[in-house]
A = this chain, B = another copy of it.
């Protein structure tokens, strides 16, 4: 299985995205691109160092800050 297939099969589902610098986004995966792994999240929540900071209706997260994506 390829990482991209896992991402593709997570479309329209809730994912957790951990970024560098203690940031985490949880939201519904609405899209992605390849090979950058930029992601579109809908109804997202932003956590900084484990604390909830914002709710964001739609957000494009740049792939190169991502540590991991969990479907």
> Which A residues are within 8 Å of any B CB, using their own CB?
1-7, 19-21, 23, 25, 30-33, 35-40, 56-71
Contact = CB atoms under 8 A, between A and B. Distances in A.
A58 B70 contact: yes
A58 B62 CA distance: 21
Contact of A67 (B19, B36, B37): B19
15 contacts: A1-B31, A1-B40, A2-B32, A3-B31, A3-B33, A3-B38, A3-B39, A6-B60, A21-B67, A56-B68, A59-B69, A60-B70, A60-B71, A61-B67, A64-B64
A2 B42 CA distance: 13
B68 A60 contact: yes
